[in-house]
Structure 1
C-alpha cells in the first residue's frame, strides 16, 4: 500500500506541461545553466581563473542530474544550493573551484523562478487562448438561440446563449492580454551579489564597474531577458510576485464566474449535459447528472484567491534585505498558483464541450419580459413613464397570479397603456432581445482576430 501522501493538485488536476515547468529536474537544470552562463561571461570579461576545461565540463554535465545524490548532500549540508554545487562539482570536477563565484543563492533561485514564471505565464495564456477558441465556436453555434437573461437570479429580458458566452469570452480575452504583457515585460534579477550592490563582482573585476554591469546584462540576455532590474536587495522585490499572483487571480476570477454561471444555468434548466453513457452523477441517486467539472473549477479558483493573499502577506512581511520565511513561502505559492490556474482552465475547456442549450420553453415568461418594451413604447407615445411603470407592475401581477396571457393583455388595455391588439407585438422574443444577435456577431468577428493572433495550446489531460 502507498504510504506517502498524494499531491492531489499535481497528480489529479494539473496539465502535464505546467507540471513540467515546475519539475525538480528543470529547476536543477536551470541552476546549472545559470552557473555556466555566469562562468562563461566572467571568463570572457577577463577572469582568468576560469578555464576552458571547466566550461567544457560544465556544459557536458548539465544533464547529469542525480536527484538522490543531491538529496543526500542536502540532508548533510542543510543547504539546497550548496548541495547542488557539490553535486555539480562531482560531475564537472574542473569547475568545482569556480562554481558560484561571486554569486549568492538568490542569483539561482530568483533568476530561475523568473524564467519559470515567464514560461508559466506564456503557457497559461496559451491554454486560455485555446479555451477562448472553444468558447468562440460555441458562441457562433448558439448566437441565434434565444434564452432568458437573469438579474438577481430572476428572469429579466431575452438574450441568446451565444451572447452570454461572449461575456465570458470577453473576460478571458482580457486575461490573455494581461498574462502576455506581463510575461513579455518581466524583468530578470540579474547578477547582483549578496545584497544587490555587486560588491563581489567589483572585487573580481578589480573595481571595473562597466564589466560588472556588462556581466549583469549578458547573463540576462542568455536567457532571453532584455529588461534587467536596476535595483535588488538579496532578492528582487516581492511586489513583482504579487503582480504575477494578481494577474493569475484575475484569470481565476474569470474562470470562477464562467463555471459558477454554468452551475446556475444547469440548475435553472437553461443548459444541459450532452449525453454520456459512462458518467455517473451520484453513487446513491442514479438519475443525477452533476456539473462536476464546473464545481471543480470553482474550488480550484478559490484556492488561487487564497494564495494571492499569501503572496501579499509574504511581500509585506519581508525583513530588510531578505529572510528565510520568504524562501519557504515561495516554494509553495509560485508553483501552486500556476498549477491551480492551469487546472481550472483545463476543466473550463472540458465544460465548453460538455454543455449545450436545453430546449427550454421560455414562452411562459414572455408577458413579463414584454413589460419594459411596453413601457418604452407607451412612453415614446407621450405617456408618463412613472405612471406607466406602476400600471405595468399591476398588469405583471395579474399575469403572475393567473398565468393567463389574455388576462395580462386585458389588464394592459384596462390600465390605458395601449390596446391589447397593439400590445401583442411586444410578445416577440426577437424584438425584446434588442441587438443581442448583432452584438454577438460583431464581437465574435473581432474576437476571432485576437485569438488567431495568439498561440493556443490545449491543456493536457491529468488524472481525471
Structure 2
C-alpha cells in the first residue's frame, strides 16, 4: 500500500532509481567489491578471493528479498548485506567479505556514490533551466514592464532583466552544489573510530585504494563517520536552490494574478480543470507546487545541522534521520527543478496587460526621472524632489496626468520644455543600462558550464 506521495505523485524516474532500495543495495555491494580489490592489491587477500567477491557483489546474486529476510532476524542491515553476499561466494571467499571494515564505512561511502549520482542529475537540470532563462532573457531583452518594490509600482524594468537575474542566480547555485560535491562525495574505509586499526599498518593505504576503485576522493580524516558538516553543506546547497526555484515560481504566481496577468503558466483549456466548483478558474498549480514542495526541502537544513554534533566518535542519531532526509531531499529537489523547467518552457505572455500595467499610474512611475532631469537642467536636487513629489501626490489624489501637471508648473517650465517633458514621460525609454546588463550576462554565460 502506497503512503508517501513520492511513491506515486512526486519525483522523476531517474532520481528515484538512484535512491531505490535495489540500487542502494548495489551501491553497498560496490563498496564491498572495492574493499576486496584494494585488499588484494596489497596482498591481504588473494586476487582470486577478491575477484569472486566482486563477481558476486551484484543484485543479480545478492537479492534484496534475502537481505531483508536476514535482517528480520539479525536486526542489522549491513551485517545482513554482508551475510547475503558471503552466502553467494564460492569456496572460502565469503569468509573475507567486509574484512577490516565497520558498517558505517559501507553506509557513508555508498551514500557518497548515490549523492554523487544525484548531484549529476540536479546539475544537468540546473544547466537546462538556466539555458531556458537565458533564452527568455535574450528574447525579452527589450520588453519593458513595470518594476515593483514593496508590492508597489516603482520604475520601469524589462523582462530581460528578470530572466537574466534568475539565470545568474542559478549559476551561483550550480557552483555551490559543485563545491558541496567536493566535500560530501568522498570514500571512507577507516574502521570503528577512523584509525583503520583492524586493517593493520596498511590500513590508510587501503582507505585510499578503495577510493581509487570507486573513483571518489578519499576522506582526509574521519572518526566512525564522514563528518556531517559536509552533508549539511550539501543539504544547505539544495535548500538554497529550492529558495531560488521558489523565487521564480512566486514571481510567476504574482504576475499571473487576475488584476496583474502579465505572464502565467500554460493552461490547457481542452483538458485541464482549475476548480471543481468554479468553471472559470485557471490556477498556477505548477508554480504553487514548486513553492510548496520547496518548503519541505528547505526544512531539512535544521536536521542536517543537528546531525553534525554526535556523541564522541559517533552515535546513531544521524542514521534514521538521513534514511529519510537524503532520498527525500534529492527526489524533491529534482522534481521541483523538473517542474520549473516545465513552467518556464511554457510561459505565456500577455503583452497588452504588460503595457497597461506600465501606464497604470498615468505617469507617476516617471517621477524619479522628472526629478533627475530637473536637477540636470539646473534645479537643486532637493527642490526638484519636493516639486515632483507635490505634483505626484496631486496627480494621484485627483487622477490627473503627472506630465500635464509638470507642464503647468511655472517653476518646472523654467527648466524643461514641453517636448522634453513629453520625452521624459515615456516609460519605454527609461530602462537605464538594462540592455547592457542583460547582454553582459548573456556573453558571460558562454563560459558558465
TM-score normalised according to structure 1 size: 0.89
Q: Which residue does the alignment assign to 1:78?
A: 75
Deviation at 1:254?
A: 0.8
Q: Is the 8 A contact 2:184 2:231 kept in 1?
A: no
2:12 is equivalent to residue 26 of structure 1: no
| CA distance in 1 between partners of 2:168 and 2:110 (Å) | 33
Q: Which residue does the alignment assign to 1:387?
A: 383
**Gapped runs of 5+ residues in structure 1?**
203-208, 455-464
Deviation at 1:184?
A: 4.0
Q: Is the 8 A contact 2:52 2:90 kept in 1?
A: no
User: How many pairs were matched up?
Assistant: 437
2:411 is equivalent to residue 416 of structure 1: yes
Q: Which residue does the alignment assign to 1:216?
A: 207
Q: Which residue does the alignment assign to 1:345?
A: 337
Q: Secondary structure at the match of 2:308?
A: helix
Instruction: Map 1:31-46 onto structure 2 (within 5 A).
Output: 31-46=28-43
Deviation at 1:366?
A: 5.1
Q: Secondary structure at the match of 2:373?
A: helix
Q: Deviations over 1:396-415 (max 9, x none)?
A: 1222233332x652345426
Q: Which residue does the alignment assign to 1:182?
A: 180
2:134 is equivalent to residue 141 of structure 1: no
**Superposition misfits of 4+ residues, deviation over 6 angstroms:** none
| CA distance in 2 between partners of 1:28 and 1:195 (Å) | 24
Q: Which residue does the alignment assign to 1:244?
A: 234
Q: Which residue does the alignment assign to 2:296?
A: 303
| CA distance in 2 between partners of 1:83 and 1:223 (Å) | 22
Report the CA distance shift for 1:185/1:324 in structure 2 as closer, same or farther (over 3 A). closer
- CA-atom RMSD in angstroms: 1.9
Q: Is the 8 A contact 1:398 1:411 kept in 2?
A: no
Deviation at 1:60?
A: 4.1
| CA distance in 2 between partners of 1:33 and 1:274 (Å) | 44
* Equivalent of residue 6 in structure 1, options 3, 8, 15: 3
Deviation at 1:43?
A: 2.1
Report the CA distance shift for 1:260/1:251 in structure 2 as closer, same or farther (over 3 A). same
Q: Which residue does the alignment assign to 2:219?
A: 229
Deviation at 1:61?
A: 4.9
> Does 27-36 or 396-405 show the bigger shift?
396-405
| CA distance in 1 between partners of 2:290 and 2:7 (Å) | 15
* Equivalent of residue 129 in structure 1, options 121, 127, 130: 127
Q: Which residue does the alignment assign to 1:363?
A: 359
Deviation at 1:216?
A: 1.2
> Does 355-364 or 260-269 show the bigger shift?
355-364
| CA distance in 1 between partners of 2:362 and 2:212 (Å) | 63
| CA distance in 1 between partners of 2:249 and 2:232 (Å) | 25
Report the CA distance shift for 1:353/1:188 in structure 2 as closer, same or farther (over 3 A). closer
Report the CA distance shift for 1:164/1:187 in structure 2 as closer, same or farther (over 3 A). closer
Instruction: Map 1:89-128 onto structure 2 (within 5 A).
Output: 89-94=86-91, 95-128=93-126
More relative contact order, 1 or 2 (CA 8 Å, 6+ apart): 1
Deviation at 1:368?
A: 0.9
Report the CA distance shift for 1:447/1:238 in structure 2 as closer, same or farther (over 3 A). same
Deviation at 1:212?
A: 2.1
| CA distance in 2 between partners of 1:214 and 1:23 (Å) | 32
Deviation at 1:379?
A: 0.9
Report the CA distance shift for 1:137/1:366 in structure 2 as closer, same or farther (over 3 A). farther
Q: Which residue does the alignment assign to 1:205?
A: none
| CA distance in 2 between partners of 1:357 and 1:175 (Å) | 27
Q: Which residue does the alignment assign to 1:461?
A: none
Q: Deviations over 1:66-124 (max 9, x none)?
A: 21111111111100011111111222243221111111001100011111112212221
| CA distance in 2 between partners of 1:320 and 1:126 (Å) | 39
* Equivalent of residue 172 in structure 1, options 162, 170, 181: 170
Deviation at 1:392?
A: 1.1
Q: Is the 8 A contact 1:366 1:427 kept in 2?
A: no
> Does 168-177 or 93-102 show the bigger shift?
93-102
Q: Secondary structure at the match of 2:307?
A: helix
Q: Is the 8 A contact 1:106 1:235 kept in 2?
A: yes
Report the CA distance shift for 1:236/1:272 in structure 2 as closer, same or farther (over 3 A). closer
Q: Secondary structure at the match of 2:147?
A: strand
2:254 is equivalent to residue 256 of structure 1: no
| CA distance in 2 between partners of 1:248 and 1:263 (Å) | 22
TM-score normalised according to structure 2 size: 0.92
Q: Is the 8 A contact 2:11 2:334 kept in 1?
A: yes
Report the CA distance shift for 1:58/1:433 in structure 2 as closer, same or farther (over 3 A). closer
Q: Is the 8 A contact 2:366 2:424 kept in 1?
A: yes
Q: Which residue does the alignment assign to 1:403?
A: 399
Q: Which residue does the alignment assign to 2:429?
A: 431
| CA distance in 1 between partners of 2:273 and 2:445 (Å) | 36
> Does 74-83 or 178-187 show the bigger shift?
178-187
Report the CA distance shift for 1:275/1:252 in structure 2 as closer, same or farther (over 3 A). closer
Q: Is the 8 A contact 2:403 2:421 kept in 1?
A: no
Q: Secondary structure at the match of 2:300?
A: helix
